[in-house]
Amino acid sequence: MRLIAAAASTSLIVLAAACGASGEAPGQSNAAAAPRGAALETRAANAPDQRPAFEGQTRAPAVRTDQAMIHRVVASGLEHPWGLAMMPDGRWLVTEKPGRLRIVTGEGRISEPVQGLPRVDARGQGGLLDVAISPEFARDRMIYWSYAEPREGGNATSVARGRLSDDGARVESVQVIFRAQPTYDGDKHFGSSLAFDQQGHLFITLGERSDKPMRPQAQDLNSHMGKTIRINADGTIPQDNPFVGREGARPEIFSYGHRNVQGVAVQPNGAVWTIEHGTRGGDEINLEKPGANYGWPEVSYGIEYNGQPGPWVTAREGTEQPVYYWDPVIAPGGAAFYQGAMFPGWDGDLLVAGLKDKQLARLVIENDRVVGEERLLTDLGERIREVAVAPDGAVWVITDQDDGKLVRLSVAS
């Protein structure tokens, strides 16, 4: 094991109370109670002629946390970390995109690579991606990971599971429980995040592989591309999945019409939310509904990344609108709903990692709508890939850099 100095970097952030706040407990936001205020986002839109489908769908009002906060770099030297999952003993599983899985302690000690993982295709956006622990980890020590799997003729996203050995040195009895089809020779839009719901179903998010010839597969129910997948923990298919028994449809599909979903979070009430890399001006937050069509590539906000208008509309009957979208984009990564005593005013808020703008977005959710937005860790100056909440209420993130870091955000003592 190698020791990375804890507290290598510490920054104190003191945030004033929101303008107009009155009688709030420390850490509370007044977004729900106050009239709609000035939008947090003030930059010019990429698609200025597009209009949201409803008020608050984009450019939510700014909110601020009135607690003093501090972030501490706990570990560094990780190579493009992608996935983050806490084990019951407080240690973290962290994936590195080139194909390594590490165990990192709360004091910053990084293990040697865990042995036994299959080979990955670490080109472009591919590699070793997300990681999750079994809901029964204390009993079965099973872990799950997604990765770009090299295959004859190309690659695609796969999900495997295995038992983490008692000493944490290797995974045993590795089994691939899902393989996205079809195989494609590309290096973009693999997805893919993993999350278990309260019933033990595993949600897997997938991209449509980016290239224009592949985009229509997001609407093709015989393809896994551009879909949210729902399977059981052993890889079998829940019989209440929306397309079970439908001819020409893959039964693992839960929803479709997605572009590149790299975040998924389960709300305390059991609702599943996905975070999607959209077009230039079209990053989305979606509330998942079984069998729903989220539109891509026929329905979207934003424009093509080359600056040209896209061949799509912003709304169409039979497709779902995003709960929220960013224009300009933040390039969202992973997400987590906040529950914890450390920041009581954040309870139920959605935390979304931001790659392009190097920030962590806090979104105040009320009645399935975004009513306020705050941007945190902006002074860290690194691409934030994933976020998780520890049992004590501290927020942990990893940064997607050559010298990637594990960072803890907490109240200042």
Q: Which residues are catalytic?
A: 189
Q: For residue 110, give the 3-state DSSP assignment.
A: strand
* Beta-carbon count within 10 A of 24 CB: 14
Name every residue whose Cβ is closer than 8 Å to that of residue 298 and which is 6 or more positions away in sequence: 219, 257, 312, 313, 316, 319
Taking the C-alpha atoms of residue 100 and residue 112, their distance in angstroms, rounded to an integer, is: 9
Q: Give, for 68, the enclosing helix (H) or strand (E).
A: strand 68-78
C-alpha torsion angle, residues 160, 165, 170, 173 (rounded to 10) = -40
Determine how many CB atoms are found less than 10 A away from the CB of residue 108.
22
Quick one: tokens of 144? 């799950």
Looking at residue 199, the DSSP 8-state letter turns out to be: T
Task: Establish how many alpha carbons lie within 13 A of residue 42's alpha carbon, considering only the half-sphere containing its beta carbon.
Answer: 4
| Pair 222, 240: CB distance under 8 Å | no
Residue 306 DSSP SS3: coil
- For residues 127 and 120, what is the distance between their CA atoms, to the nearest angstrom? 5
d(CA 112, CA 101) in angstroms, rounded, equals: 8
- Tokens 């194909």, located at residue: 99
Asked if residues 41 and 59 have their Cβ atoms less than 8 Å apart, the reply is yes
Start-to-end Cα distance in the chain = 30
How many Cα atoms are found within 13 Å in the side-chain-facing hemisphere of 364?
Answer: 26
